[in-house]
Structure 1
Amino acid sequence: MKRVFQNVRSVYINHTLLKFKSQTIINQRFYTTTIKEYSISKTRNIGIIAHIDGGKTTTTERMLHYAGFTRRIGDVDHGDTITDYMKQERERGISITSAAITFGWKNHRINLIDTPGHVDFTIEVERSIRVLDGAITILDGVSGVEAQTQTVWDQADKYGIPRIAYVNKMDRIGAGFGRTVKEMRYKLGTRPLVCQLPIMKKDSIGNNLFFGIVDLLDMQVLDWNNNPNGSIINKTILTEQYPISGLFEEAVKGRSHLVETLSEIDDQLLEIFLANEDPMKVPVDDIREALRRVTLSGKAVPVFCGASYKNIGVQPLMDAVVDFLPSPLDRSPPLATLSDKIIEIPLKEKEKLCAFAFKVIHDHKRGPMIFVRVYSGKIDNRMTLFNTSSRKRERVNKLLQMYANDVEEIPSISAGNIGVIVGLKETRTGDTLIQINDSRQDLKLQSIDIPSPVFFYSVEPTSISDEKPLEDALKNMLREDPSLHVHVDSDSGQTLISGMGELHLEIIKDRLLTEFKVNAEMGKMRISYRETITVEQLEHTCLYDRELMGKKQKAQISLMITPLSENDKGISEEGGNRIEIIIDDLNSEQQNETDNQNSLTKLDKIEIRDALHSGILSALYRGPILGFPITGLYIKVHSPKLFGLESTKTAISACASQALGEAMKNGAPALLEPLMDVEVEVPEEHLGDVLADLTGTRRGNILGLETSGQLIDYDHSIEIYAPPDSTYISSNEKQKVIEPKRIIKAHVPLSTLLGYSSSLRSLTGGTGSFNMRIHSFGIMSEDRAKSVITEIQGGY
C-alpha cells in the first residue's frame, strides 16, 4: 500500500505585505510506474558526495522530511536515519554503503543516492557516480575542501557529472563561506558561482550566529527561525533598510558578480545583460536558465549554503536540484562497445533494451538484489535477459523501487530510471544487460574501475559444519563488494580476505559474525604485498606433458617477460600486467597437423587464445616468494606447439600457468610493498614533529609542503566572487586564512601507517588529520623483505 504523509512544506511570509498563508501539501512516493505522469525530463538521478562527516546523510534526512516522505527527521547520532540502515552504520555513525531512495519535489521525481565519505568505501562512490546524471557536493564550512572531497570531485570529473555545491555547517564556530568558495577555485579547479549569502548575527557575547540566507537571484532574505523543524520559511524582500549593516550592499555586489560572470561564459545571457545594462535589472528567470546551461556544460558550479543539522537551507538546495541539475535527456548518450566499435546508446523507451548493473546487495529473504540503470528500452517483470559479460541468460522474478532498505514492487523500469531486479543469479557489478532475443550479444557499456586491495586477513570455520555457511557468506559478500577479494592459499589451505583498508575489513569481519552468523576465527590483519621480477628480460620455454585420469595431456609454449616501465604501468591491465598472446606463429605444417588431429576437439584459435590467457591469469595470482599476486610485468606468449588430441584446453592452460611459474623463479623475483599518497594537515607548531615521524619511523618520502588556504598558482585572469567572512583578515585586497595549517604531501609505505591515526592525534594534540590512497607498489629493501618473509612464513 502506498504511504501518504501530510507535511507542511514551504510557507513563505512576505513581511512587506504582512500576509501569512500556510499550505498543506499531500506527498506520496513517486514510483517508477508513474513514468508517464512524471516524464524523463522531470526525473533527476543525483548523488550526494563529500568527505566523511560532511553532512551527506543529515542533509538527505531533511530532504526526505520536507518532501513528505517521513513524519520525523532522523538523526545520525541517534542511529535512526533512513539511508544509514545497516547495523554497522548506525553503531559507527557513518555511511558504509550507498543507499538509493526516490521521492518527489515540485512535480519532479528525484532518484537520490547517498554515498559514503570514508576512503575505504570509495568503490561505493565510484559505482554510484557511474550511473548518475548529477551530484550535490557537500562541503564542511569549517574544514573547507578536504582530502576526500578532492577524491570524489575527481571521480565526478572522470564521468563528466554536472554538480552543484552546498557549504554545510554554517552554524559552527569557525565556518567560513567565502574561504570555502576560494578553496573550491584553487583546490578543485572549478569556477564557483555564489548564489546565496549566509547571514551572520552577533549574539550577546560577540559570537557570529548563522541566522539565514540571502538568495542573490531573488534578492530576498530567507530564515527558518519560526519553526524548529525548518518546514516554514520566512521570505522577505532585501532592501537598503534591512537591519544588518552592509548586507544589502554585499548582496548587490554578489548579484552583480554573478550576472557578469554568467555573461562571460554564456552568450545568451550576455545579450540580455547588454540590453539591460544594469546587472540588477536582469530578470531572475534568465539568470536561472543561464545557471542551468553553464552547470550542465561543466563550465561552472553554483554554490549554496546552509546548516542541515539546524534545518536551514535544505529546501532551496532541493529547488536547485530541480532547476540546475540535468535530467537523463540532458546528458550525452552513454558509449558502449559492439564488435570492437564504439556506439552510442540512445535514451528512448522504444529502443532495444540496454541496462547497466552497478550494485548488488544480498537480502536474506529476497536473495541477490541487482541495482540497474536503464539507458534505453524498458525492463518488464518476468522478462528474460542476456548478460553480455557473463554470457548467461537471466530471468527477472521481481522489479523493485528502493527506499533505502524498504521496497515497493513495480511492473517495469523505464529508460532513464534506476531500479532493482530480483532473481538474477550470475549478474555482478559492471555487467551489461540486454533482451535475450537481441542480436547485439557482445554489447558492453563502460565498466567500473575496481581498486586493488591492500590489506588481508585469514578466516577459518570453527568446525566442518561451518565450512558451507562461510563459503556461502563469502560468495554473497564478494558479489556485493567488487573491491573485496577472496582466495585460498594453496600451501596453507587458508582462506584469505583482501580489502581496501582497516575499516573496510573490520566491517567485513563484523558482518560475517553478526549478519551472516558465521562461526569463524579471524587471523591478524596484514598488508597485501605484491611480487615481480627484477631481470630486464626473461625468455622461457615450457613443455607440459602429463597424464590426467588416464588421458595424455601435452602442450608447449614460450614466454618473453620484461618489467613494465613507469609510463607503461598507467596503461596496464590484468592486475597491473600486460599480456600479449601470439598464436599466428604456428607454422603451416604444424597447423595442418593440428587441424587434422584435432578434428574431434575442434580447437580454434579463439579457444587456444582463451586457454593460454586463462593459464597466465591463474599463475599471476600467486608469486614464487610468498604467494602474493604478481604485478608490473609485460608477458608475451608465443610459439605455441600443439600435439593433436593430447593438446586439450586444459593442457594448454596448465602449460601456460606452469611456464610463467617456472619463469618467475628464474627472474630474480622481488617483493613489492604498497606506497600510499599521504596528505597530512597539521598546525604550524607541530610541523617538525610530524615531519620527523614521517621521514624517520615511517620511511616516508616528502614530496612537498603547502599552506592550507594559500592561493596557489592558477589562472588569475578568471576572477571569482567570494564574500567576506570572519575567518579572513584583509590586507591590500589579498585575503589570507587566519592561523593556516600546513599540508604535508608524501609517499609512505602502507606497512608503517598501521595505527597512524592514533599516533598523529598524539603528536598534534588531536589537531592533525590525514588522508591516504594507494599510489603504486615499490620494491622492498633487502632487509625489509627478509623481515616480511620471516614474519609471514612464521604463520598467518
Structure 2
Amino acid sequence: MGILAHVDAGKTSLTERLLYAAGVIDHVGRVDDGSTRTDSMDLERRRGITIRSAVVSFELGDLTVNLIDTPGHSDFIAEVERALSVLDGAVLVISAVEGVQVQTRLLMRTLTRLRIPTLLFVNKIDRMGARYDELLADIARLLTPSAVPMGAVTDLGTRQAKYQLLPLENKALKELLAEGNDQFLAKYLDDEIEPEDCRRELVEQVRRLRVHPVYFGSAMTGEGVPEVIDGIREWLPRATGNNDEPLRAQVFKVERGPAGERIASARVFAGRLQVRQPVAVHHGATQDAGRGASTYEVKPTSVQVFDRGGTRTADTAEAGRIVALRGLKQVQIGDQLGVPTGQGGQLFAPPTLETVVRAQDRVKLFQALQQLAEQDPLIRVRKDARGQISVNLYGEVQKEVIASLLEEEYGLAVSFSETTPIHVERPIGTGTAVREIGESGNQWCAAVGFRIRPAPVGTGIDYRLEVELGGLPRAFHTAIEETTRLTLQQQGLQGWEVVDCRVDLIRTDYVSPVTVAADFRRLVPLVLTQALQEAGTRVYEPVNSFDLELPPDSVASVIAKLAEANATLENTEVAPEWATLKGRIPVGRIHAFEAQLPGLTHGEGVLLTTFDGYQPITG
C-alpha cells in the first residue's frame, strides 16, 4: 500500500507510527529531527521532506504490509506515479489544520482514476486550528462525496484531543452504503441491518471505490493510529497474486549501490522470481509513444525481499512481495518482468519546464546527469549544438535536489539558469533528403535518405522502413534508427524536440568492408535536418487546463489577470459563497499568476492545474 499526501501533512510521521506499532522500530522518529526510518537521503533529513519513494515491509497480525512512503511535494509527482503503479490500496493523509490542499486533490483524482481503494486519515487533531465538521464538508465537496467518518473527536485542537470510533451500524454509514447497493437499501428500509451486514458491505464498497472511510488522529501523539491500522487490515484489499501463475512484475524504482551497480525495486504481482534464472525484461511497454520498445533476457545476480523492516537475501521471491534486484544492468523504471501486463504508462503530466545546468567539468556533468536520468526517466537531459546541457523539471525545488545529488554523489558544484517552459516542434509539410556515397558534402562511406511528414498528435516518432531490411547489416539499421530518434529529440529547426512526425527511411547503401556504424551515426543528422528544413516546423508551447476556486468578489480582478497571462476562459460559475473558473493557461505564465493569486483572492483562491497538451506559439 502507499501513503500519500500534500507536503507537510504528516505521512512520514504516520509511517513511523505504523512501524512502531508493528515492532519494527523501538522509538518513533521525528521528521524535524531527521531521525525517520524512510527518509534516508541527507537532503530529505535536512529539508524534512520526502524526495524518493521508500519501501518498508512489516506484519500487522496475519497481514504482511509492503508500505511505500511517497513524496508529497508537487515537484516530485513523478516519484509518486511509480509507486501508484504497484499499489493494492492507499492511505491519503490530510492535515486537520491546512485541510484539502491542491496536491491532495490531484492525488485523490489520480487514485480514483486508477481504481485504487483508499482510506483517508485526517492528521494533527491536536493542533490549534484543527477542524472536524467543516473539514468533512470540504472533503465531500473537493475530494469525494462518498467519504464517511468512522469516528468522532473530543477536545479538538488541544493536546488532549481523543478519537473514538462510532458504532459500525451508525446512520450516516448505513445511508451511504444503501446508496450503492439496492439489496442493502431494502434491508435498511425494513430495519434488518446487523453489524455484520455493515462490515461485509463496507469491505465490498471500499474495494469498489464506492466508499472512502475517514479516520482522524495525530501521528505525533499516536492518537487514532490503532484505529487506522484496524481499518487497513479490514477494509483495504489484500494481494491476490498466485505463485503458480507465469511471472508478472514491474520495476518502480532504480538506484545505485555503493559500487555503482544498479538496484531495481520491483513488485511481484504473480509467479515466482528466482535468482540466476532467466527473466524476460520488457522495456518501453509503458513508456510514451515514439521512444521505442524492446525485450531482452537477464539473470538477476541477487534477489533481496523486503521483510520485517529490512531486507533479506532469498533464492525465490513469491507473488505479492517487493524485491530489490541486482544484475539488471540496463533496467529502467517502468520495465516489466516476465509476462508484460500492458498496463501502466504515464499517469501524471510530463515535466514542462527546463533549465540549463553549468559546471566546471562539462563532460563529468553530462555523465552524472545521464546516470540520474537512469534512476528517473522523467529527468530528460539535452545537449544542444553549443554544448549547453539542459534538464527537464517539474518545479524549482527539483533544482535544489539535483544540485545536492550532483554535489554529494559526484563532487560537482553546479549552477542553473532561469527555468523556462519546454516547447516542442511539429512538421508542417513533407520534406525529403538523400545523400549518396561520393556525393559532395558526404565524406563517409554510407548513403541514407529520409522522408519526413506530420503524424497525428501524440504519435511521437513513427519510424518506418521503405527499404529492404536485408539490404543492410542489422547493426547499421540500429545505428540509423537510434541516431534518428536522438537527433529529433535534441535539435529541431528552432532548437526544440521534434514530435508527432512520421520518418520513412527511403534509401541506404554501404561499402563492404569499409563502412562502419559510425558513418551512419555522423551522416544521419545532416540528412535528417535537410529533410526537416524542407518540411518546415511550427513551435508549440505547453498549456495547462486550470480549475480555480475563489470568493465571488474576486472574480472580476482575477479574470483581468488571466487575460494578461494569455489564458482562455471556458467556464465560469458564480454561487453566493464560492465561484469557479475553468480554462487553459500557458505553462510559462502560471508561476507569475500564482504569485498574484493570494493578493487578489484574500488568500482564499485555490488553483488546480493539469497538463493539457500544446498550442501553437504566436510571435
TM-score category (smaller protein): 0.7 to 0.9
Once the two structures are TM-superposed, the CA of residue 369 in structure 1 deviates from its matched residue by 1.7
Find the residue that maps to 1:286 and give its secondary structure.
helix
Find the residue that maps to 2:498 and give its secondary structure.
coil
Contact 1:262 1:290 in 2 (8 A): yes
Where does residue 125 of structure 1 map in the other structure? Answer: 80
Q: Deviations over 1:462-506 (max 9, x none)?
A: 24xx844x35532331121111011222x2122222222221222
Which segment is superposed worse, 301-310 or 95-104?
A: 301-310
Give structure 1 stretches of 5+ with no counterpart. 1-45, 202-206, 220-254, 330-346, 435-439, 711-735, 783-796
CA distance in 2, matches of 1:218, 1:451: 40
Contact 1:539 1:558 in 2 (8 A): yes
CA distance in 2, matches of 1:403, 1:173: 38
What are the equivalent positions in structure 2 for 1:763-774 lying under 5 Å apart?
770-774=607-611
- Cα distance change, pair 625–522 in 1 and its aligned pair in 2 (3 A): farther
Once the two structures are TM-superposed, the CA of residue 349 in structure 1 deviates from its matched residue by 1.2
CA distance in 2, matches of 1:634, 1:327: 44
Find the residue that maps to 2:328 and give its secondary structure.
coil
Contact 1:198 1:305 in 2 (8 A): yes
Where does residue 665 of structure 1 map in the other structure? Answer: 533
CA distance in 2, matches of 1:306, 1:603: 62
Where does residue 541 of structure 1 map in the other structure? Answer: 432
What are the equivalent positions in structure 2 for 1:119-158 lying under 5 Å apart?
119-158=74-113
Where does residue 409 of structure 2 map in the other structure? Answer: 516
Once the two structures are TM-superposed, the CA of residue 312 in structure 1 deviates from its matched residue by 1.7
Contact 2:125 2:161 in 1 (8 A): no
CA distance in 1, matches of 2:405, 2:448: 45
- 1:424 corresponds to 2:261: no
Q: Deviations over 1:79-122 (max 9, x none)?
A: 22222222222222222121111122122111111111222111
Bigger radius of gyration among the two: 1
Once the two structures are TM-superposed, the CA of residue 620 in structure 1 deviates from its matched residue by 2.1
Letter in 2 for 1:486: V
Letter in 1 for 2:390: L
CA distance in 2, matches of 1:182, 1:614: 54
Find the residue that maps to 1:516 and give its secondary structure.
helix
Contact 2:442 2:523 in 1 (8 A): no
- Cα distance change, pair 559–699 in 1 and its aligned pair in 2 (3 A): closer
Give structure 2 stretches of 5+ with no counterpart. 284-293
Contact 1:170 1:210 in 2 (8 A): no
Once the two structures are TM-superposed, the CA of residue 359 in structure 1 deviates from its matched residue by 0.9
CA distance in 1, matches of 2:425, 2:370: 29
Find the residue that maps to 2:227 and give its secondary structure.
helix
What are the equivalent positions in structure 2 for 1:732-743 lying under 5 Å apart?
none
Letter in 2 for 1:372: A
CA distance in 1, matches of 2:197, 2:614: 52
Once the two structures are TM-superposed, the CA of residue 773 in structure 1 deviates from its matched residue by 4.0
CA distance in 2, matches of 1:108, 1:404: 12
Where does residue 492 of structure 1 map in the other structure? Answer: 386
CA distance in 2, matches of 1:509, 1:777: 29
- Alignment partner of 2:268 out of 374, 384, 394: 374
- Alignment partner of 2:174 out of 259, 274, 278: 259
CA distance in 2, matches of 1:551, 1:457: 36
Once the two structures are TM-superposed, the CA of residue 64 in structure 1 deviates from its matched residue by 1.6
Once the two structures are TM-superposed, the CA of residue 769 in structure 1 deviates from its matched residue by 5.5
Contact 2:152 2:163 in 1 (8 A): yes
Q: Normalization by structure 2: what TM-score?
A: 0.85
Letter in 2 for 1:674: P
Aligned length: 604
Q: Deviations over 1:339-369 (max 9, x none)?
A: xxxxxxxx32133323211111223357322
Where does residue 791 of structure 1 map in the other structure? Answer: none
- Alignment partner of 2:279 out of 385, 389, 392: 385
Contact 2:140 2:147 in 1 (8 A): yes
What are the equivalent positions in structure 2 for 1:590-629 lying under 5 Å apart?
598=471, 601=472, 613-614=481-482, 616-629=484-497
- Alignment partner of 1:573 out of 459, 462, 480: 459
Where does residue 779 of structure 1 map in the other structure? Answer: 616
Which segment is superposed worse, 391-400 or 684-693?
A: 684-693
Where does residue 479 of structure 1 map in the other structure? Answer: 374
Using the aligned pairs only, state the percent identity: 24
- Alignment partner of 1:293 out of 201, 204, 208: 204
- Alignment partner of 1:356 out of 241, 250, 271: 250
Q: Deviations over 1:153-183 (max 9, x none)?
A: 2322332211122233334455443444444
CA distance in 2, matches of 1:153, 1:692: 31
Contact 2:180 2:205 in 1 (8 A): yes
Q: Deviations over 1:274-333 (max 9, x none)?
A: 7xx436xx433332221111111222222222233342211111111110101111xxxx
Once the two structures are TM-superposed, the CA of residue 421 in structure 1 deviates from its matched residue by 1.2
Letter in 2 for 1:553: A
Where does residue 101 of structure 1 map in the other structure? Answer: 56
- 1:462 corresponds to 2:417: no
Contact 1:362 1:476 in 2 (8 A): no
Q: Normalization by structure 1: what TM-score?
A: 0.68
Contact 1:99 1:404 in 2 (8 A): no
Find the residue that maps to 1:493 and give its secondary structure.
coil
- Cα distance change, pair 318–602 in 1 and its aligned pair in 2 (3 A): same
CA distance in 1, matches of 2:511, 2:379: 40
Find the residue that maps to 1:456 and give its secondary structure.
strand
Letter in 2 for 1:317: V
Q: Deviations over 1:56-84 (max 9, x none)?
A: 11221221222222222222222222222
- 1:556 corresponds to 2:449: yes
What are the equivalent positions in structure 2 for 1:317-328 lying under 5 Å apart?
317-328=228-239
Find the residue that maps to 1:416 and give its secondary structure.
coil
- Alignment partner of 2:69 out of 114, 117, 141: 114
CA distance in 1, matches of 2:308, 2:531: 51
Contact 2:425 2:496 in 1 (8 A): no
Where does residue 722 of structure 1 map in the other structure? Answer: none
- Cα distance change, pair 75–693 in 1 and its aligned pair in 2 (3 A): farther
Once the two structures are TM-superposed, the CA of residue 261 in structure 1 deviates from its matched residue by 3.2
Q: Deviations over 1:529-574 (max 9, x none)?
A: 3243574xx2222212246998631233433336x4xxxx3xx132
Letter in 2 for 1:375: F
- Cα distance change, pair 501–182 in 1 and its aligned pair in 2 (3 A): same
Once the two structures are TM-superposed, the CA of residue 208 in structure 1 deviates from its matched residue by 8.3
Once the two structures are TM-superposed, the CA of residue 259 in structure 1 deviates from its matched residue by 2.1
- 1:505 corresponds to 2:368: no
Contact 1:56 1:114 in 2 (8 A): yes
Where does residue 163 of structure 2 map in the other structure? Answer: 213
- 1:309 corresponds to 2:309: no
Contact 1:126 1:448 in 2 (8 A): no
Contact 1:126 1:155 in 2 (8 A): no
- Cα distance change, pair 175–705 in 1 and its aligned pair in 2 (3 A): farther
Contact 2:112 2:209 in 1 (8 A): no
Letter in 2 for 1:776: G
Where does residue 748 of structure 1 map in the other structure? Answer: 585
Q: Deviations over 1:119-142 (max 9, x none)?
A: 211111111110011111223334
